[in-house]
Structure formats: C-alpha cells, structure tokens
Chains A and B, each alone.
Chain A
Amino acid sequence: MSVLAPAGVLRGRAPALRLLRRYGVYLALGVLFLAAVLLDAGFLSAGNVRIQLFQVAPTLLVALGMALVIGTEGIDLSVGAVIALAAAVIPLYIGWGLPVALLVAVALGALGGLAGGAMVAFARVQPIVATLALMIGLRGLASLVNGASAKPVTDRALLTLGSDAFLGVPLTAWLAAACVALTAVLVHRTTFGRQLVAVGDNRRAARLAGLPVRRVLLTVYLLSGVLAALAGAVIVGHGAEADPANQGRNIELDAITAVVVGGTPLAGGSVRVLGTVAGALFMQLTAAVLTQHDVPASLTKIVEAVVICAAVYASQERGTR
C-alpha cells in the first residue's frame, strides 16, 4: 500500500470540511442522541443512560485493544474467543475469590494475545489469518476447558462488578473509563505510544530506526488480549452466567466498527482513543434506538449498514483500507 494518499486527497480542502472530518464522529454522535431524545424523551432517563453504559462497556474495552492493534496496521479477530476463554475459566476459579479469577482470566487473555502477537511479530503471518486461526482454536479450547454449556454465576463480588453502579454510573463503565484514560496516556504520552504509531505507519523505517518492532507488536496484541479478558469478566458478571460457547461472538466486528467509525484508519499509523469511545457509543445508540422502536431485524440490519457507512464517511481522514 502506498504511504501517501493518492492524488485526490492531496488536493487542498476547505478547512471547515477538514474540521468536520476530524470531529465528525462527535457530531454524528450528537445528532443521533438528539434524534433519539426527540423520538422518545424517555431516552434521557437515568435508567436508560445506565443501560446503554452497561451495554457499551465490554465493546468499548475490546475496542480499545483493537484500536491499538489497528494502530500497528494489524487486526485482532481473536478477541471474541478470548472472552470465551475468560468465561470458561472464571467459574473454575471464582471459588478462590474474584481477584484470583480475574487474574487467571487476564493471564490467559495475555497468553492468547501473545500467541497472536508472536505469529505476527516473529513468523510474520498476516494478522487477519493469524488471529482467525486463534479465533477458531481458542473458542474450541474454551469449550474443552470447562465444558461447552453455560454455567450460572453466583459469586457476589462478580455480580456486583457486573451490575452495580457508583454515583449512578455502572462500575463496568468506570472500569472502561479508567482503561480509556490509561490507553490515552499510553498512546499520546509514552515512548511506547510513539513507537506503536511509527510501527504502524512505516514498519521498515521503524525497524531501521532501531525501534523494538517485535516487542511493540507483541505488547499490542497482549494488551488486546488482556482488555478482551476484562471484557469477558464484565460480560459474565453482567449476565450472571458464563457461556464459553456463545459469549463474545461477533464482538470483534463491533469493536472494529467502533474503532473505524471513531476515525482511526485501518491502514495504521494513528490511534484515536476518544474517537473510539465516540464510535462505540455511536454504535450502541444506533442499536438502542432501533431495538426500542421495535424495528424488525431486516430493517435494523439495513439501517445499521447505512449508518455505519455514513458515519465512517463523515469521520474519515483518508480512505485507505
């Protein structure tokens, strides 16, 4: 892929349009929210806002990791399977207390991420196939670990994490917010963040500049695995059941959509953390409005398709991949 945007984009654009592009997601999010409230004033109620935050938290956690991976010109399809893995082990270790169960889940998530990262960094397998193999294999493994069937979860601490709120905001949303802040610092303020972006933008140059390219790639997939495992814990806690066969299915596509709607280019070389948050919220609101107004499944899909295209078009800076 060429590093320079082709001719059409090199041409000057009105600054106003540029600004719109840069902040398009936020605008789209605002418009959608307004529309939702106009359609039904109940949308503003505290209960409703809380529900939306509950539902968006796991997707957002996964999307944060995905944004980092995408920043290195990669993609991680295995996040859903990592969630399944977390769902498989949490019931096994929850007897030891929530921290232990969380630690085991996160450690396994890290291992899963490392496996993908190693394939990408060392063997130079293309990320989409490396993580596709993991996606299939890890989900199978998850079912092997603790049986394929769903297990009810009764641990108080986990249920509290999954469904309680602090200051009216769900604990899971606080957790997601903390991860957002950490990710933002990581990307914008640390050496690692710079290296990540450089690796995504021009890998050969980054290597010749002496950057630890492999370590960056490994770390990024590892972080994605860790965040996915956290998301798994959140999903299990909120649903009060652990279902390795089904939990986390298709979440990778939701996360990728959120990241890209948020303005991070799939070609790598740039990560927009806040944009990702806006993207995830945007997709969540779309789904909420459609479900709450009882739109049939067929139309829901079509509307979502159109909305995704429009939002990405509005927020894209350049259109590679």
Chain B
Amino acid sequence: MAQAERPDGPAGAPAPTEPAAAESAVALAAAAPVLAARGIGKSFAGVHALRDVDLTLRPGRVHALVGENGAGKSTLIKVLTGVHRLDTGRIELAGREREFRTPLEAQRAGVSTVYQEVNLVPMMSVARNLHLGREPRRRGLLDLRRMHREAAALLLRYGVDTDVTRPLRELGLGAQQMVALARAVQVEARVVVMDEPTSSLEPREVDTLFSVVRDLTAHGTAVVYVSHRMDELYALCDDVTVLRDGRAVHTGELAPLARRDLVGLMLGRTLLAARERAARQVPDPGARPALRARGLSVRHRVHGVGFDLHRGEVLGLGGLLGSGRSETAKAVVGALGADAGTVEVDGRRLARRSPAAAVRAGVVLLPEDRKAEGIVPGLSVRENIVLAALPRLSRAGMVSRARQDAVVETFMARLRIKAASPDQKVADLSGGNQQKVLLARWLCLAPKVLLLDEPTRGIDVGARAEVRALIDELAADGLGVLLISSDPEELTAGADRVLVLKDGAPVDELTGDRVTPDDLLAALAHETRPGAGDEKTDDEKNGARR
C-alpha cells in the first residue's frame, strides 16, 4: 500500500507547518518541469475544444488552470490523463515523451486525477471506493478488515466521519468529493490534477483540501488546480494558465496578476462592476407566503423543518455538509418520500406529493447533482431546455417546432449558453453550460418558487455574476427563491434571510444585520458546542486542522 510505504506521506500528515511548504516551494521553483505539454490540440466532431495549448508543471508548485465555462479546462485535463487521445501536440513526463491511452496508464506513470464530476461507484461501500484497484491483500485475498480500518482512519483526516461500510451514495456530494480526493492523493503521484474539487465543498472541507495540497507540494508533487473561486486560486496557486476558447492566452506566476486582469483575460472583456444589490422591499410578514412548509421530516435525514417563503424573497438555507439541506429541498418538491409535513403553495396545500405535482403548482428544484439528476445526456440542448415546458409548447400533444425554437433561442441568449448549436448533445457541453441549460429549463416555465441547490456549482466568474444577478432579478420579478449554497459569501450575499440547519433540524435563523458570512459561520460553529454527538464533530475538526 502506498501510504504504508510512505508513513509521512500526505495521507499521514495532511497539515505540515506552513514555513516548510514555502521553503520547499522556493527550492523547487527552478527545478525541471515534471510534465510538459506542447501544442496540444483536440477537437470533437468539428468543434475545436483545444488549440495549440502549452502547459508546464513544475514539482512542488500548484498550477491554476482557469477560464470560462467551456474554455477547455476539463478537456485539457482529460487529454493529459489518457481519457481522450490528443489530435496534435506531445506530452513529456519527466523529460520522456509519453502518450497515455487509458487513465490506468496515466495513473501508473504517476498522474493522478480528481475529475470534475465525482467519478466513484455509488453503490459500493466507501472503503471499497477508496481502495478500488489497489486493495490490501493477504494470502491472495483482499484483507477487508485492514481495508476498512485504513479507510476509516484516512477519511477521518478529511473530516468525513462515517461508517465506511455504508454505500457511498448515502454520503452527501461534498463527502463524496472528499472520498474522491482522498483516493487520488493516496497513490504516490508525481502530478495530481484536481478539476474543480471544491465546487461542492464548504469552508471547513476547503481548508482540509488546502492542507492536503500544501502537503503534496511540500513533497515535490506538482498540482494542477481548476477552480472558479478567485479567493481559492490566490490563496493556493503559484502559477496560472488562462484558457479562452480552447487557447492558452496567458501563462505565468499568479501573484503578480491582479484579480481584475485575471478575470479580464478569462472573459476577454472586463467584468461589470459588482452590481449593487437592488434594495428589495421586506415582504409583509402577514401576507400569504408563496411557499409554506411545515414539519417536513424524512427518516434519519430531516427532522421537522418548516419555513415561509414570500414572493420576491430569497431565503438561504445554510448548514454543514450532510446537514440535510438537499434533502429538505427534495422533500419540498416531493422527490423524496417525506414521513411527515405539509407544503402549501399560495395557501393551497399540495395534496399529491410528486415532482410533477410540484412543477404544476409552480415549485421547481434545480438539483445539486446535475449529472445524475439534472441533464438528460442523450438529448440535445434544445430538448433539454424545453423538456419540462413541452406540454405548454405543444398543441394536442404535437410538438410545435416554432414555439419551441423561440423559447430556446431566448434562453440560450439570456443565459449565454455556449453550445455549437441547439442540436448539440447536452452531455458534450462543459459543466457550467449544462448548469445553465438546467436553469433555462426551469425559467421557461415561469415558476412561482425556485429551489436552487448549489446553483453556481462549477460556474465561472462571469456566469456566476450573471446567475447572481439573475437570482436578484427573478426575486425582483416576484419569484420566491430558496437558495442553497456551501459558499457562505454567496449565501449571505444573495439571501435576505438564512435558515441554518444542523443534522436535519433547524437551529437558527439569520435575519437583517445578521446575514453575514461571519454570523453564518458563528451560527454553524455555535451549534457544534452542546450535545453528545457534537464532540465527535470537534474531534473531526481537530483531526482535520491538527
């Protein structure tokens, strides 16, 4: 086992002292590149995803890869790691030219990857996922006991305290992301590639991740880091390559580059000055809420959550990973069988609890896991956008092409969806654009209440600003919006009120002046004091930040 042979590897000590990391980084800055890609080109059925891209990775340095949605970041990574074969260009690993035909070959050569979408096996146990393909063996057979022991201990360091024999799918997406990360870092790798690893993490996990990355670089590993979160990039990365429309438009050290300029390079234009948030009028508490949930309970997950959501209001739902936010949202639309609770829309109680009934009533949910629950991958962009609105766009069951095209055009323009044409398969879009397609699917229904579960997950800075502006705009138009986000900044900036959940139960509500990141963090932290089960959480924290 890798970590057994390397007792002080990243898994063993994820949080070295800062100075050591800095020192080694300086020492290694001038070292020979561990991986050098030259003139990489890749096209899909006529679409140029990458053109003549160079990338140089040096040991002990974190290389940021940034760009708009669809700029080609994930494609570049997939080419480097053997998922796609490159059309042009060459890749040198430690001075030797290599071409990886499969991810396995890349892994064997020391290039380890955390892909953008969580790519694990949901039905297998957490421990199995962590060890797949390199399980510890005894006398030829798998050593299950050791596997479980090691997995539990390893994950504890990543802040995931769970029974590792449970199926992975029972974990929240964030926890799954941590498992994927632990898995990738576990092998002895010369290059570790992370494609938006933090998109479903919240601050505590992000800290854990940072310490893992720093530890990796301290040991001379080169890290490629993709993220749309500027703060993270500046906190963590040494170098940067900016991709735009499949070309590398800038490469160099990150620190000297001002944020503004970086964003400008990515977008090819300057970002609009941060919009002043429109002063929304506080809804009349006596008015009938657009959505009223009472006593929602889902076995073991959600316990008696209730809230009122008024027209024109953005209600935030805060909480740590696994606090039951996603489940709450799903219970509201009837996608999860709730054990108890009622949901009223405009004062009318929803009798039948199914997503279809909720959609008819005007309550729609943008799910957090867009791959598994959002897109219909085989259908085109057009068909995905109009999927839910079809009955309204057709006459006597027959689809009207013209009305459909009008809607599709409007929303592709309004959300700036970047696709070769409306006929392109959604599966072939970049992650961010897929998210926009899903938003378009709901907006063309003109819903009353919009439940957004991590709406900016994997969306680039430009688009993120657009989505935020859009949320404001929608609220101003009289929509009720429930916003779930793991980014405290985003949550507090976007929401008028924030309901804080812990272990599936509401513990606090932030209103007025208290809607700030600090108050949110305090609310989360505060709630971890009392109670027996919470000591464990403290331990986790210590484990992670030791």
Contact = CB atoms under 8 A, between A and B. Distances in A.
A, B from the same assembly: yes
Interface string B370-393: 011111111100010001101100
Given A3-B427, A270-B378, A12 B44 contact: yes
Main DSSP-derived SS at the A contact region: helix
Name which of A4, A204, A205, A213 has the most chain B CB atoms within 10 A of its CB.
Answer: A205
Contacts of B356: 207, 210-213
Contacts of A191: 390-391, 394, 397-399
A201 interface: yes
A313 interface: no
B397 A190 contact: yes
Interface string B460-483: 000000000000000000000000
B374 A208 contact: yes
Given A201-B378, A201-B379, A210-B388, A12 B399 contact: no
B360 interface: yes
Interface stretch (A62-70, A171-179, A192-200): A192-200
Interface string B325-355: 0000000010100000000000000000011
Contacts of A190: 394, 397-399
Nearest to A197: B379
A3 B83 contact: no
A293 interface: no
A304 B323 CA distance: 57
A191 B441 CA distance: 15
A198 B371 CA distance: 14
Given A204-B373, A208-B355, A7 B45 contact: no
B321 interface: no
B397 A205 contact: no
B373 A205 contact: yes
**Contact size class for A?**
20 to 34
B355 A4 contact: no
Contacts of B360: 210
Given A11-B84, A211-B356, A198 B387 contact: yes
Contacts of B372: 202, 204-205
B45 A211 contact: no
A205 B388 CA distance: 11
Contacts of A7: 82-84, 102-103
Contacts of B378: 3, 197, 201, 269-270
B335 A205 contact: no
Nearest to B335: A208
B387 A189 contact: no
Nearest to A200: B378
Contacts of A297: none
B364 to A, nearest CB: 7
B83 A10 contact: yes
A206 interface: yes
B523 to A, nearest CB: 30
Nearest to B117: A4
B390 A12 contact: no
**Contact size class for B?**
35 or more
Given A191-B397, A192-B397, A210-B356, A201 B377 contact: yes
Nearest to A212: B356
A209 interface: yes
B87 interface: yes
A4 B377 CA distance: 8
A198 B379 contact: yes
Contacts of A198: 376, 379, 383, 387
B121 to A, nearest CB: 10
B441 A209 contact: yes
B358 interface: yes
B377 A3 contact: yes
Contacts of A269: 376-379
Interface in A241-286: 269-270
A210 B359 contact: yes
Contacts of A209: 355, 359, 376, 387-388, 441
A75 B454 CA distance: 36
B309 to A, nearest CB: 19
B376 A206 contact: yes
A208 B367 contact: yes
B270 interface: no
A321 to B, nearest CB: 14
Contacts of A212: 356
Contact of B399 (A3, A10, A194): A194
A205 B399 CA distance: 21
Contact of A205 (B102, B375, B383, B398): B375
Contacts of A192: 397
Contacts of B44: 12
A15 B379 CA distance: 20
Nearest to B357: A210
Contacts of B376: 197-198, 201-202, 205-206, 209, 269
Contacts of A3: 371, 377-378, 427
Interface in B47-85: 82-85
B88 interface: no
B443 to A, nearest CB: 13
A201 to B, nearest CB: 4
Nearest to B445: A210
B511 interface: no
Given A209-B355, A210-B360, A194 B84 contact: no
Interface of B: 43-45, 82-85, 87, 102-103, 333, 335, 354-356, 358-360, 364-365, 367, 371-379, 383, 387-388, 390-391, 394, 397-399, 427, 441
Instruction: Across the A-B interface, give the 3 residue pairs with the lowest CB-CB distance, nearest first.
Output: A210-B359, A269-B378, A201-B378
Given A7-B83, A205-B372, A206-B387, 4 more contacts: A12-B85, A198-B383, A201-B379, A211-B356
Interface of A: 3-4, 7, 10-12, 15, 189-195, 197-198, 201-202, 204-213, 269-270
23 contacts: A4-B427, A7-B102, A7-B103, A10-B83, A189-B399, A191-B390, A191-B397, A192-B397, A194-B399, A197-B378, A198-B387, A202-B373, A202-B375, A202-B377, A205-B374, A208-B365, A210-B358, A210-B388, A211-B356, A211-B388, A212-B356, A269-B377, A269-B379
